[in-house]
Amino acid sequence: MLFEGRFTEGKNAFDNRITQLFGISYPVIQAGMIWASGWRLASAVSNAGGLGLIGAGSMYPQVLREHIQKCKKATDRPFGVNLPLLYPDIGQHVAVILEEKVPVVFTSAGNPKSWTSKFKEHGIKVVHVVSSARFAKKSQDAGVDAVVAEGFEAGGHNGREETTTLCLIPAVRDAVTIPLIAAGGIATGRAMMAMMALGAEGVQIGSRFVCSHEASSHIAFKEAVINATEGDTIVTMKQLTPVRLIKNEFYKQVQEAESKCVSTEELQNLLGRARAKQGMFEGDLNEGELEIGQVSGMIKEIKPAGEIVKEIWMSLLSLRKCHLRTKYQPYRFVPFTLFS
């Protein structure tokens, strides 16, 4: 069997631990990205059968509440919130999530022990994002329901281990028994099928959903993504927190500063405040921070989020059918002569 799970052919649906955990049709999760993942995107993905996430990382607590309430009105399907744990007012965000009875929370950038038990006391499903098998084990020990293993190809903040998704997924699969979601470099059915074959039970997709009509990202940023080619992104600012972004004027300034071995404080001053908002939400392609994954080089069109979910899933189904039809022949060595 290529991967675990049960297909319901008549409905093109799928049943495995991830779909059961969240109550969704397809094990496709839309990442809760800053300045992109508001209620419109999250509800559209959930309505299409996946799991949409609201990105709390770029929202004040009251703004988060508004997005949750609007998402509830826009969908009757499960949705969640992605919550970075490093923010100083995290307690206020948690209070909003509990008061609004959000069914699923993805945590990242922090210790999963901090809030997992609190969420689970309120019946919330908890998933933590990790960049290594070691952190996956710690997350499992903290009691999370599943982990997202995110490889180095991903956009935005990255793990310091620099482990690619291809290497990370089987390593995490061998390390933990809880459900595993793959992330980093995934935008197509082909990539999703590869991740499932490596041991993932679902995928989290970010960059592809940035280029959806419902994403709150600025249209100039979306167009920069679909015009990006292979090699246009890079991981930088490792002295602070590794971030993958599109190379632009801001990146050149960072590169110059790093080449001079400036202090962490000087680099922080260069980064300043709201640099990501300036780039991704306000559309300043020169001075803004343009966080996106390596897979941006494969994204060529802005389309509705629901179509993206359907396209990825139907592509996976087509590939699976081809796999089932293939008649594999035993390998036969054919000798050849290098020089005639």
**Which tokens in the block code for residue 220?**
């100039």
Helix (H, G, I), strand (E, B) or coil at 227: coil
Helix (H, G, I), strand (E, B) or coil at 252: helix
DSSP letter for 303, please. Answer: B
**Which tokens in the block code for residue 26?**
């397809």
Q: Where in the chain is the domain with CATH 3.20.20.70?
A: 6-217+299-318
- Which residue from 75, 67, 47 is spatially nearest to 304, judged by alpha carbons? 47
Any idea of the CA torsion for 169, 170, 176, 179, to the nearest 10 degrees?
A: 50
pLDDT in tens, the chain (340 residues): 456 666 665 556 789 999 999 999 999 999 999 999 999 999 999 999 999 999 999 999 999 999 999 999 999 999 999 999 988 789 999 999 999 999 999 999 999 999 999 999 999 999 999 999 999 999 999 999 999 999 999 999 888 999 999 999 999 999 999 999 999 999 999 999 999 999 999 999 999 999 999 999 999 999 999 999 999 999 999 988 899 999 999 999 999 999 999 999 999 999 888 899 999 999 999 999 999 999 999 999 999 999 999 999 999 999 987 766 665 555 454 554 444 3
**Which tokens in the block code for residue 58?**
């770029």
Q: Is residue 203 a contact partner of residue 190, using CB atoms and an 8 Å limit? A: no
Which CATH code of 1.10.1060.10, 3.20.20.70, 3.30.1330.10, 3.40.190.10 fits the domain covering 6-217+299-318? 3.20.20.70
